[in-house]
Structure 1
Amino acid sequence: MAESTVSPTREALADFLRRRRDALSPEVVGLQTGQRRRTPGLRRDEVARLANMSTTYYERLEQGRGPQPSAAILAGLARALRLAPDERAYLYLLSGRTDPAAEHPGGAVDPELLAVMRAVSATSPAFIVDDLAGVAAQNALHTALFGVVAGLPGWEGNMFWCWFGTGRWRRSVLNSAEHQEAIGRTFVAYLRVFVAERGYDPAAAALVSDLRLASAEFSRMWDEHQVSRAPAPIMSVLDDRVGRLDFDYALMMSSRSRQRLFSLHPVPGTPTRQRLSRLSNVEGDSVSTYR
């Protein structure tokens, strides 16, 4: 029986393997170059040997054929091809599997993102979320503006629930209803990415289902099926202590986990930076983290 037509994903996997193999110098993996070597990169049999698999099986992968690679096969390929964290994650994504290295052990806050959050603590409200947007950590400025969210039970500690479910992150927002809808639509587009990365697992499906029940606005936006990691529009917040604050959003993804850092930065030309400085002096430089 003839094999089915190669899918675009399998073609992308095959091309990725070929190009990473061609780009990897034999010296890097401790192999002799020799005078008869026809390619500057590795040969298929060399990759197969380094990855602890048969040459025939590896050749089928580069041809876009064969069964779905197992987690053990992918780990061997990532090791053999000396893949960087982003490349390794991409390899697993193309193969329809989750990269175990992307799972942060024990639910701890990613140290890379935590360091950045601490570095901006005096100038930018910031918070870290896990791969379903549960708030894992907040710095003092974010807590001062939006209250403690990290560590709350159930969906109460979820960033999307705080916008659509309870609305607690919207109560002090000064943007018009139209502008708030644009912000919300950006959040929904983010959530589409989060859910897809989790493979539409039960937890992700439950969050979407509960948000649909809680918010007609969310349900309508979800049905639009917009997908984006673009920053949210400018958000304006009223704080009783310092007045109006205008923010741009920025997003940082960790190279070692699925966690993300969201930070709010003062819009140039507004008094936000000076007002945040006053707020920072009131609140101090502490960081709230929950495990």
Structure 2
Amino acid sequence: MSPGDRRALAAFLRHRREQLTPSDVGLVPGGRRRTPGLRRDEVAVLSAVSTDHYERIEQARGARPSLEVLGAICRALRLTLDERDHVHRLAGHEPPARHRSQGYADPGLMCVLDALAPHVPALVTDDLTTVVAQNPLNVALLGPIATERGLRRAFVHRWFTDPDLRGRYDPAQHDQLGREYVADLRLASGTRPGDADVRELVGALESASGEFRRIWALQEVATRRTTHKVLHHPQVGRLDLECDVVVSPPSGQRLVLFRPRPGTGTAERIALLGVVGVQHLEPSAPAS
């Protein structure tokens, strides 16, 4: 393992941070700033790490940052895949395979996610449904997933193991949606023969859920497409949504949109969700 170059890493991150404005990353611009770019505490919040931890990285102090923390910082700074790989090498890590997110999100999808934030719940996942980013409306809709750790960030794993998340979806759709998620997972697994991440996810689901085992045995394969979903939110009630999946060719990541279905009153309830929904969520503790 290369020792990397912590000073070069610190300089690179600082330079990229100073090139960004709050509006570039979906933050509300504040008053006049004494220095250009984002503040360190803003990058820390966007990365779901403590400010002290991020400051140590940018000052080339402390332990080498983990792959997950580096991925989250790369997501926060809207780095390209080439820039992400450069950051990992400077930190002394081998860059992850291009299909592994490690907390990183495609910057093009993040730009769209930010633009949608006021009106449309949306999230970004990798091909194994690991949620790497959510806008505030999506957090209010489904709860915080991107800030979780391990398999709890994989939506398909949460679908079969988290009754609170699944309980928000109309029970009449549970079987159909479960089969869609599993068929998509099987398709993704076929593109990664022998992959350790696939084995871990499928193995955990087979151990945890008889329903998953039954559906997995059906050998169904299909790409996720636009799906009509009905959710029952505890604060705003019934939501009729069209769920669209947009794939980014450079990274293979997906932008998942939850569009209000016209003529159902859902748009008004989504607007209400933006006001009251987040107030009922417990914040996750930042990583350090």
With normalisation by structure 1, the TM-score equals 0.58
Match of 2:150 among 154, 165, 169: 154
Please give the root-mean-square deviation of Cα atoms over the aligned residues, in Å.
2.5
Shift in Å, 1:109 = 1.3
> Cα 1:225–1:204, aligned 2, differ >3 Å: closer, same or farther?
same
State the distance in 1 between where 2:196 and 2:163 align: 24
Shift in Å, 1:106 = 6.8
Q: Which residue of 2 aligns with 1:140?
A: 136
Which SS does the other structure have where 1:118 is aligned? helix
Is the CA contact (8 Å cut-off) linking 2:101 and 2:126 kept in structure 1?
no
Q: Please give the per-residue CA displacement for 1:34-73, whole angstroms capped at 9, x wherever unaligned.
A: xxxxxxxxxxxxxxxxxxxxxxxxxxxxxxxxxxxxxxxx
Q: Which residue of 2 aligns with 1:271?
A: 265
Q: Please give the per-residue CA displacement for 1:64-88, whole angstroms capped at 9, x wherever unaligned.
A: xxxxxxxxxxxxxxxxxxxxxxxxx
Shift in Å, 1:245 = 0.6
Q: Please give the per-residue CA displacement for 1:98-145, whole angstroms capped at 9, x wherever unaligned.
A: xx9944787521101111112222222111112322110111111012
Q: Which residue of 2 aligns with 1:118?
A: 114
Shift in Å, 1:258 = 2.3
After superposing on structure 2, the runs of 4+ consecutive aligned residues of structure 1 that deviate more than 4 Å are 100-107
1:258 maps to 2:258: no
Shift in Å, 1:196 = 1.7
Which SS does the other structure have where 1:226 is aligned? coil
Q: Percent identity?
A: 34
Shift in Å, 1:232 = 6.0
Letter in structure 2 aligned against 1:149: I
> Cα 1:104–1:162, aligned 2, differ >3 Å: closer, same or farther?
closer
Which SS does the other structure have where 1:234 is aligned? strand
> Cα 1:186–1:155, aligned 2, differ >3 Å: closer, same or farther?
same
After superposition, where does 1:103-252 map in structure 2 within 5 Å? 103=99, 107-176=103-172, 179-231=173-225, 233-252=227-246
State the distance in 1 between where 2:241 and 2:129 align: 20
Is the CA contact (8 Å cut-off) linking 1:162 and 1:168 kept in structure 2?
no
State the distance in 2 between where 1:232 and 1:217 align: 24
- The number of residue pairs the alignment matches comes to 186
Is the CA contact (8 Å cut-off) linking 2:99 and 2:126 kept in structure 1?
no
State the distance in 2 between where 1:115 and 1:274 align: 24
> Cα 1:194–1:282, aligned 2, differ >3 Å: closer, same or farther?
same
With normalisation by structure 2, the TM-score equals 0.59
Which SS does the other structure have where 1:258 is aligned? coil
Q: Please give the per-residue CA displacement for 1:131-184, whole angstroms capped at 9, x wherever unaligned.
A: 3221101111110121111131221111111101223321122232xx210011
